[in-house]
A = this chain, B = another copy of it.
Amino acid sequence: MPKPPHNWGRWGDDDQQGALNLLTPATVLAALGAARDGRVVSLAMPIRGATSGPAPTTVPHLAGRPLPQHFMSVDGGDYAAGVRSDGARIADDALLLSPHGTTTHMDALCHMWAGEELYNGHPAARVRSYGATRLGIEHAAARGVVARGVLLDAAAHRGAARLEPADRIGAAELAEICARVGSEPGPGDVAVVRTGWPRAWAEDPALYRSGQPGLAADAGRWLAERDVVMVAMDNAAVQGLGADGRSAEDVDDDLHLTLLWRHGIHLAELLWLEELAEAAAAARRCDFLFIAVPLPIEGGTGSPINPLAVL
C-alpha cells in the first residue's frame, strides 16, 4: 500500500483509543446482533445554519456558543437570476461548526483534562493551535463506534416527560433502571442516558438555559466500572449544569474527568432521544445496535455525529 494521506500507524495506536480498544471484531459482531427488526432511528438534532434573519434559533444549545453557519456558494436562485447553463446545474455549500455545546457531537479524548497530562499520560502541551497531536478525534474515527447500545431512560423511570434542571441521576438510580428493564450496560457497550431535557427548549429557551439535569458523580464511577466504551446523553455536558452554565463538581467528581480523562470513555452529548425512547418502550426493549461515526478531523477536540440506533 502507498503512503496514505492519514497516518494509520498513529491512528491505530492502542494508547490513543481509550475504551474503544474494547471494540474487538467479536464485540462488533455481537453488537450487530442487537438489532432485531432493522428499524433505524437517528439520534441527532439538526444542524441549522444561524446566518440570516432575526428568527430565534430553534435548536437547543448552550448560551454563548458560536452557532453553526451554513452558506450556499451557488444555488438554484443563481440560475433563476440568470446564470447560464445548458448542462448540469449545481448547488454547493460550506459549513462552519463549533461542535461542543451547539450540536449532537462526540468528544475526543483530548477535550478535557486536569494538570499537565491528558488521558493515558499524553502531554497536554501537545494540544496546540494547529490541533491536538495526541488523542484527536481522528483516532476514534479509525474504527468508529459500532456497539451495543443500552437505553437508560431516567425520565421515564421517574414517570416524567423530562427531568428538572436540578435533578441528578445517581448510581443507585441507574442500577434500579437496569434492574427494571433486566439489562445492564457491560464491557464494550454504549450507555445511552435520557433526561428528556431537549424538551425544555420547546417549552422555553430560557428554561433550557436555567440549568440542566445530568449524572451525579457516583453514576460516572458506576458506568466506568462497567467498562462501557461511551456515555451518550441528551443533555449538553453529561454532568448537570447550574444556572451559571457551569458544573458544580470539583476535580474528583467532574464527570468529564472521571469518564473521559481517567478512563478514556468517549462522551456524546446533545443527542435527541425522544423517538428512540418511544420506540424502545413500544418494543419493550432497551438494547439495540448503536452506531456513531466521528469524522477524522485531525487534531480535532470532537466531531459532529449523527448517531443511529438500529432496533
Contacts and interface: CB of A to CB of B under 8 A. Distances in A.
27 contacts: A1-B278, A3-B202, A5-B58, A5-B60, A5-B198, A25-B38, A40-B146, A45-B296, A49-B298, A57-B64, A66-B69, A69-B96, A70-B130, A75-B129, A81-B128, A86-B251, A90-B112, A91-B110, A91-B127, A93-B98, A93-B131, A94-B98, A95-B97, A144-B291, A146-B308, A293-B306, A293-B307
Nearest to A42: B142
Interface residues of A, number: 132
Interface stretch (A26-34, A149-157, A168-176, A216-224): A26-34
Contacts of A47: 295-298, 300
B298 A304 contact: no
Contact of A27 (B25, B38, B46, B125): B38
A63 interface: yes
Interface string A63-97: 11111011111111111111100111111111111
A285 interface: no
Contacts of A93: 98, 131, 297, 299-302
A55 B80 CA distance: 22
A111 interface: yes
A63 B97 CA distance: 20
Contacts of A60: 5
A167 interface: no
Interface string A92-119: 1111111110000000001111110000
A19 interface: no
Interface of A: 1-6, 8, 23-29, 32, 35, 37-40, 42, 44-60, 62-67, 69-83, 86-100, 110-115, 123-132, 138, 141-144, 146, 161, 198-199, 201-203, 244-246, 250-251, 254, 256-257, 272, 274-275, 278, 289, 291, 293-302, 304-308, 310
A91 B111 contact: yes
Given A45-B6, A91-B301, A50 B66 contact: yes
Contacts of A301: 72, 91-93
Contacts of A70: 130-131, 297-300
Contacts of A161: 2
